[in-house]
Amino acid sequence: MAQQHEFAGHCESLRSGEGNALIVAASLPAPRPACTAPTRRAWQACRMRFQPPADIAPAALAALRRQQVELAAQVRLDDRLSALPSRVAGVDSGFEDEGRTTRSVAVRVDGGSLQPLESTLARLPTALPYIPGLLSFRELPAVLQALAQLREAPELVLVDGHGIAHPRGLGIAAHLGVLTGLPSIGVGKSRLVGEYSEPGPQRGDHAPLSHKGRQVGWVLRSKPRCNPLFISPGNHVSVEACLPLVLACLTRYRLPEPTRLADRLASRRDRGAA
């Protein structure tokens, strides 16, 4: 119950504009408009050009990176969960209006059946263009708002992104976990940092992911003949425990069910379902 109050309190501070960790991001200028051509090739070209505008001062970006270092020191890799809890949420984000609007989805599933129980959708102006290593400042405002709209606070959050497998130890899953106090795990579709040996070809095959001399997660083959996932703890979950928790969320798809459902809504493949 105390954890749920802590979560609700942070969400209230976010709605009232008092979220300290996002103040610098909120002060940055809005991204420049991208081109409007509808073709896939044109959209890819827009993404390539969607770089930090010159008026985002290097000092502001350096301040965000300092915040990451400070928040990373608050990450706790203790195990608050002994097994998959009854309330598990998955979160993911997409973008509308050529990147000017962030569309974030939270889906809560039953930890026993993995059946979806509720989903929420939040749309906010995109705080930052895509800047490698600063993804959480771009997506978290909308992600936190989507989580705040759930009728029941989750006991575990799976995030499309990374946890401590990050250059400064604070991927979006770790950032979310520190801000909310919720146990969290990053489920990345591609590697951000780290070295590993390719896992075996079968579902469940895995290998350690190491960065700067320590293990920061796992490389997991979640489905045969598919690229592996990059699993790393966010907060209040250990490196050892994050792998079996994600395995418990797998069905017949590559992505664990909570983030798979969130991905479908965030990418608008299930229009109107949220």
pLDDT of residue 127: 82
- For residues 260-273, b (16+ Cβ closer than 10 Å) or e, as one string? bbbbbbbeeeeeee
CA distance 174 to 257: 20
| Rg for the chain, CA atoms, rounded | 18
**pTM for this entry:** 0.82
**pLDDT tens digits for range 74-114:** 999 999 999 999 999 999 999 999 999 999 999 999 999 99
pLDDT of residue 133: 93
Q: Is the pLDDT of residue 30 over 90?
A: no
Which has more confidence, 9 or 14? Answer: 9
Q: Is the pLDDT of residue 12 over 90?
A: no
What stretch of H or E contains 11? helix 2-15
CA distance 79 to 181: 13
Q: Is the pLDDT of residue 67 over 80?
A: yes
Q: What percent of the chain has pLDDT over 90?
A: 72
Give the CA distances from residue 68 to residues 5, 65, 144, 171, 253, in Å, rounded to whole numbers and listed in that order: 24, 5, 17, 9, 33
| Contact of 28 with 127, CB cutoff 8 Å | yes
**pLDDT tens digits for range 166-201:** 999 999 999 999 999 999 999 999 999 999 999 999
Task: Give bridge partners of residue 157 from the DSSP assignment.
Answer: 89, 184
* DSSP-assigned letter for residue 54: T
CA distance 114 to 255: 13
